[in-house]
């Protein structure tokens, strides 16, 4: 269905009103190279040109207004260096003051006193007089005076372009010149008729016209909805295609049986009864691994929900079927802890477990590598050292990635190249992700949720205290220690290299030590500048209960498990993000004792920090906290999402378009159920569109 090159591919300088010089600027400043790029440069708002207010009608409480009037002589007011420009606009009904603080000389040169202008901006009141600071101002040429019956688009632009008179409104003139030249064949419809009907969607060509020049608000809304849907739907088609194809086509090693190791462990070595959520997830994994296709499963469980045992049982299942497993953790401490914990649980069983991290000495490392190749090691635990090409297996069948948000897709895919048939992959994360975010980031993975904590857990009581009451807080810590409990005191060392933060940590440590003197008390300390051995020694002393207090930076953030610890004190808590606070808090409340989290802050707090602390004190629910986190920070800042390139929507927002996203997801899934390769005639246009887009957009390589 090719019709030759579309007009949308024409270089931007060929558009009427552009030319080589402005074309160059549009390319540099806005990345607009072609007619098509301009078409996709969407307005961020529209001015209702039918609504020009008489100045006398401007009243307190009004936000943005548009007026038209004759400009008076602009005057420079104030001292040098703090000069501002002021001019009065009169329309026969009243006076409006216009003020500029920046670009005074330039603005003054541009304005022509006595001329009629159209002015738009946010109204402020000084001494009962309305004024607008840095208004949008444009000569009321004929077009403006006449007014049109549509909403006039205003586009994102840059300061540099403005100095060349390519303002947010001037860009609209270019778009207006472009639109009559394009036809539906330049922006062909690719959504199948059934989807158009089910979603009540505006046709594509019409949507492009209406997003720029809508006759009314309803048309704009419908156009925006259509184009947002298109973005979300295309992503969902891609992700679900990967998922369904994997289900149907990928090869996977088959775990035929639940064997002696699994059963023996389950019957005689499991230290507790599994929760229903744990049982359900293990069953999901068993089913997945028996189908002959590769499993790619994301396990989301709140901190302390017991993901480790799920991983262990899965790895025993692999061993029962003659396959090796590996478990990859984000930090050395966590890898060591997994190794210690799992070795302990398996100590009476014929299962070989080994640890491979960056600090394992060369001779020992060679031995481990050899044993992995020989197939002697059943379970290999480690850090990212496991990814290296030197690590090879005889028959790797199962990979667990703990706390996945620190591993990129690329790193993950390296692991499944370690076996001829790719091993099953279980990704575990204790940073719950809002549903819409996980739908767009991990839509190609199958998802399990563990929404149940082991029985007997008591909710952690969280309070906010100012640093001025640190003394009381430490006294409280002392009382808990008297009862046989242990405590964490966390200091921010967000930038490992920050000298100031490091000094704070050391001073904090000395303070704690003075408050809890030896030999009655012993204190461990762990931070990023220590060697792995030092960290390990300190950690082990705390795990064994030889020390009662752990002073640490966020290196213990994820995974660390000391059930006897019941107090978490977080210093400078205002410096931490929500999910980080939740992770840190998750280090306590892991046993049956009542646990506490105390957030210490300085006296001055931003409103965002205040909001974070409030949420922390209100809830222990990681999923709620994740939603709130996304609300406060925006999805682009959630760890790991920015680089992914998955969220580069032009219009859609996973925060604000949840319902639309869910509809797109459902419809994409249904469509692919019937026709995963998009071979039906009614899906030809969609297939064509995806092919044309390929290479332009990055998307998940997991397969």
Dihedral angle at the C-alpha atoms of 201, 205, 210, 215, nearest 10 degrees? -100
Q: Does the footprint of ligand ADP cover residue 357 (CB under 6 A)?
A: no
In sequence order, what DSSP letters do the residues of 302-343 get, joined into one string?
-TTS-HHHHHHHHHHHHHHTT-EEEEE-SSHHHHHHHHHHHH
Q: Which of 525, 600, 611, 615 is nearest to 569 (CA)?
A: 600
Q: Does the footprint of Mg ion cover residue 74 (CB under 5 A)?
A: no
Instruction: Output the smallest distance, CB 441 to ligand ADP, in A.
Output: 20
Q: Which does 309 bind (CB under 5 to 8 A by kind): ligand ADP, Mg ion, none?
A: ligand ADP
Q: Which does 445 bind (CB under 5 to 8 A by kind): ligand ADP, Mg ion, none?
A: none
CA 700 to chain centre: 15
For residues 144 and 383, which CB has a smaller minimum distance to Mg ion in the complex? Answer: 383
Question: Between vectors from CA 483 to CA 480 and to CA 488, what angle results, nearest 5°?
Answer: 35
Judged by CB under 6 A, the stretch of 252-260, 269-277, 417-425, 596-604 that binds ligand ADP is 269-277
Strands (E), 231-304: 296-301
For residues 172 and 559, which CB has a smaller minimum distance to Mg ion in the complex? Answer: 559
Q: Which of 482, 559, 456, 550 is nearest to 512 (CA)?
A: 550
Instruction: Output the smallest distance, CB 334 to Mg ion, in A.
Output: 8
The HSE-up count of residue 463 (CA atoms within 13 Å, CB side) is 12
* Spatial separation of the C-alpha atoms in residues 14 and 35, rounded to whole Å: 9
Q: Does the footprint of ligand ADP cover residue 449 (CB under 6 A)?
A: no
The HSE-up count of residue 341 (CA atoms within 13 Å, CB side) is 22
Instruction: Output the smallest distance, CB 633 to ligand ADP, in A.
Output: 23
For residues 195 and 379, which CB has a smaller minimum distance to Mg ion in the complex? Answer: 379
Q: Which two tokens stand for residue 312?
A: 């262990």
Edge-to-edge order in the sheet of strand 324-328: 353-356, 379-382, 324-328, 396-402, 424-429, 296-301, 446-450
Query: Is residue 594 within a helix (H) or strand (E), and if so which, with residue range?
Result: none
Q: Which does 301 bind (CB under 5 to 8 A by kind): Mg ion, ligand ADP, none?
A: ligand ADP
In the list 281, 309, 433, 481, the residue contacting ligand ADP (rule: CB under 6 A) is 309
In the list 147, 259, 375, 454, the residue contacting ligand ADP (rule: CB under 6 A) is 454
Q: Which does 561 bind (CB under 5 to 8 A by kind): Mg ion, ligand ADP, none?
A: ligand ADP
# of chain residues touching ligand ADP (CB under 6 A):
17
Q: Which does 135 bind (CB under 5 to 8 A by kind): Mg ion, ligand ADP, none?
A: none
In the list 307, 378, 418, 585, the residue contacting ligand ADP (rule: CB under 6 A) is 307
Q: Which does 504 bind (CB under 5 to 8 A by kind): ligand ADP, Mg ion, none?
A: none
SS3 120: strand
- Residue 83's CB is within 10 A of a number of other CB atoms, namely 13
SS3 428: strand
Instruction: Output the smallest distance, CB 404 to ligand ADP, in A.
Output: 12
Edge-to-edge order in the sheet of strand 461-466: 461-466, 596-601, 565-570, 486-490, 549-552, 523-526
SS3 576: coil
Instruction: Output the smallest distance, CB 306 to ligand ADP, in A.
Output: 3
For residues 100 and 596, which CB has a smaller minimum distance to ligand ADP in the complex? Answer: 596
For residues 240 and 305, which CB has a smaller minimum distance to Mg ion in the complex? Answer: 305
Instruction: Output the smallest distance, CB 345 to ligand ADP, in A.
Output: 9
Q: Give the per-residue contact string, 540-579, with ligand ADP (x = CB under 6 A; - = no).
A: ---------------------x-x----------------
For residues 558 and 678, which CB has a smaller minimum distance to ligand ADP in the complex? Answer: 558
Q: Which does 405 bind (CB under 5 to 8 A by kind): ligand ADP, Mg ion, none?
A: none
SS3 519: coil
Instruction: Output the smallest distance, CB 510 to ligand ADP, in A.
Output: 32
Q: Which does 305 bind (CB under 5 to 8 A by kind): ligand ADP, Mg ion, none?
A: ligand ADP
Q: Which residue is nearest to ligand ADP (CB)?
A: 306
In the list 195, 211, 372, 430, the residue contacting ligand ADP (rule: CB under 6 A) is 430
For residues 274 and 447, which CB has a smaller minimum distance to ligand ADP in the complex? Answer: 274
Which residues make beta-bridge pairs with 34? 11
Q: Which does 325 bind (CB under 5 to 8 A by kind): ligand ADP, Mg ion, none?
A: none
Q: Does the footprint of ligand ADP cover residue 266 (CB under 6 A)?
A: no
> Is residue 578 within 8 Å of 441, Cβ to Cβ?
no
Judged by CB under 6 A, the stretch of 62-70, 307-315, 419-427, 568-576 that binds ligand ADP is 307-315
Q: How far is CA 702 from CA 297, 445, 585, 698, in A?
A: 12, 9, 33, 12
SS (H, E, C) 136-163: EEEECCHHHHHCCCCEEEECCCCHHHHH
* Spatial separation of the C-alpha atoms in residues 302 and 300, rounded to whole Å: 7
Q: Which of 241, 174, 245, 178 is nearest to 209 (CA)?
A: 178
Q: Does the footprint of Mg ion cover residue 622 (CB under 5 A)?
A: no
Instruction: Output the smallest distance, CB 328 to Mg ion, in A.
Output: 12
Between residue 551 and residue 580, which ones bind Mg ion under the rule CB under 5 A? 559
> Is residue 239 within 8 Å of 447, Cβ to Cβ?
no
Q: Does the footprint of Mg ion cover residue 330 (CB under 5 A)?
A: no
For residues 62 and 273, which CB has a smaller minimum distance to ligand ADP in the complex? Answer: 273
Q: Which does 304 bind (CB under 5 to 8 A by kind): Mg ion, ligand ADP, none?
A: ligand ADP
* Spatial separation of the C-alpha atoms in residues 298 and 412, rounded to whole Å: 12
Instruction: Output the smallest distance, CB 430 to Mg ion, in A.
Output: 6
In the list 130, 135, 304, 443, the residue contacting ligand ADP (rule: CB under 6 A) is 304
> Is residue 326 within 8 Å of 381, Cβ to Cβ?
yes
Between residue 271 and residue 290, which ones bind ligand ADP under the rule CB under 6 A? 272, 274-275, 278
Strands (E), 470-548: 486-490, 523-526
* Spatial separation of the C-alpha atoms in residues 353 and 480, rounded to whole Å: 36
Q: Which residues bind ligand ADP (CB under 6 A)?
A: 272, 274-275, 278, 301, 303-309, 430, 454, 561, 563, 590
Residues found near Mg ion in the complex (CB under 5 A): 559
């Amino acid at each position: 269905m090719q019709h030759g090159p579309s007009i949308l591919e024409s270089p931007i300088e060929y558009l009427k009103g552009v030319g080589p010089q402005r074309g160059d600027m549009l390319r540099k400043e806005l990345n607009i190279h072609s007619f098509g790029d301009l078409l996709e440069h969407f307005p961020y708002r529209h001015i209702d040109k039918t609504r020009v207010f008489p100045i006398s009608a401007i009243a307190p409480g009004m936000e943005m207004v548009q007026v038209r009037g004759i400009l008076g002589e602009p005057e420079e007011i104030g001292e040098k260096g703090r000069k501002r420009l002021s001019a009065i606009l009169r329309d026969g009904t009243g006076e409006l003051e216009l003020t500029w603080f920046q670009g005074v000389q330039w603005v003054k040169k541009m304005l022509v006193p006595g001329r009629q202008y159209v002015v738009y901006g946010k109204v402020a009141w000084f001494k009962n007089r309305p004024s607008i600071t840095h208004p949008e101002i444009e000569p009321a040429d004929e077009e403006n005076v006449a007014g049109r019956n549509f909403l006039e688009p205003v586009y994102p632009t840059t300061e540099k372009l403005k100095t060349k008179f390519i303002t947010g409104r001037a860009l609209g003139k270019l778009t207006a010149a472009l639109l009559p030249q394009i036809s539906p064949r330049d922006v062909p419809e690719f959504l199948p008729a059934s989807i158009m009907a089910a979603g009540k969607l505006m046709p594509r060509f019409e949507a492009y016209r209406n997003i720029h020049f809508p006759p009314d608000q309803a048309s704009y809304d419908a156009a925006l909805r259509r184009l947002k849907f298109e973005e979300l739907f295309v992503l969902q088609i891609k992700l679900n295609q990967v998922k369904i194809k994997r289900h149907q086509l990928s090869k996977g090693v088959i775990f035929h049986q639940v064997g002696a190791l699994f059963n023996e462990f389950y019957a005689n070595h499991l230290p507790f009864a599994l929760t229903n959520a744990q049982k359900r997830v293990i069953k999901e994994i068993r089913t997945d691994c028996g189908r002959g296709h590769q499993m790619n499963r994301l396990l989301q469980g709140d901190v302390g929900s017991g993901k480790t045992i799920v991983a262990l049982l899965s790895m025993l299942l692999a061993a029962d079927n003659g396959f090796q497993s590996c478990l990859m953790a984000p930090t050395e401490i966590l890898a060591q802890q997994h190794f210690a914990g799992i070795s302990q649980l398996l100590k009476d069983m014929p299962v070989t477990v080994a640890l491979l991290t960056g600090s394992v000495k060369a001779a020992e490392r060679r031995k481990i590598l050899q044993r992995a190749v020989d197939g002697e090691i059943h379970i290999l635990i480690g850090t990212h050292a496991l990814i290296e090409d030197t690590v090879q297996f005889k028959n790797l069948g199962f990979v667990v990635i703990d706390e996945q948000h620190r591993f990129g897709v690329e790193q993950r895919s390296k692991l499944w190249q370690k076996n001829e048939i790719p091993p099953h992959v279980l990704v575990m994360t204790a940073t719950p992700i809002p549903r819409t975010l996980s739908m767009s980031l991990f839509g190609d993975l199958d998802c399990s949720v563990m929404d149940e904590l082991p029985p007997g857990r008591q909710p952690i009581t969280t309070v906010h205290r100012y640093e001025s009451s640190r003394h009381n807080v430490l006294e409280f810590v002392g009382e808990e220690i008297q009862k046989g409990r242990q405590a964490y005191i966390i200091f921010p060392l967000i930038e490992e290299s920050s000298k100031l933060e490091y000094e704070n940590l050391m001073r904090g440590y000395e303070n704690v030590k003075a408050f809890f003197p030896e030999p009655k008390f012993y204190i461990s300390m762990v931070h990023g500048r220590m060697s792995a051995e030092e960290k390990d020694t300190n950690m082990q002393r705390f795990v064994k209960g030889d020390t009662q207090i752990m002073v640490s930076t966020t290196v213990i953030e994820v995974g660390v498990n000391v059930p006897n610890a019941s107090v978490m004190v977080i210093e400078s808590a205002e410096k931490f993000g929500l999910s980080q606070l939740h992770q840190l808090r998750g280090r306590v409340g892991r046993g049956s004792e009542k646990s506490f989290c105390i957030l210490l802050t300085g006296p001055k707090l931003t409103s965002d920090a205040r909001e974070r602390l409030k949420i922390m004190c209100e809830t222990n629910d990681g999923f709620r906290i994740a939603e709130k986190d996304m609300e406060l920070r925006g999805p682009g800042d959630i760890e790991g999402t920015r680089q992914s390139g998955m969220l580069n929507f032009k219009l859609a927002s996973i925060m604000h378009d949840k319902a639309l996203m869910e509809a797109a997801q459902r419809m994409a899934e249904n469509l692919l159920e019937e026709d995963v390769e998009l071979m039906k005639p009614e899906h030809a246009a969609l297939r064509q569109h995806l092919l044309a887009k390929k290479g332009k957009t990055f998307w998940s390589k997991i397969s």
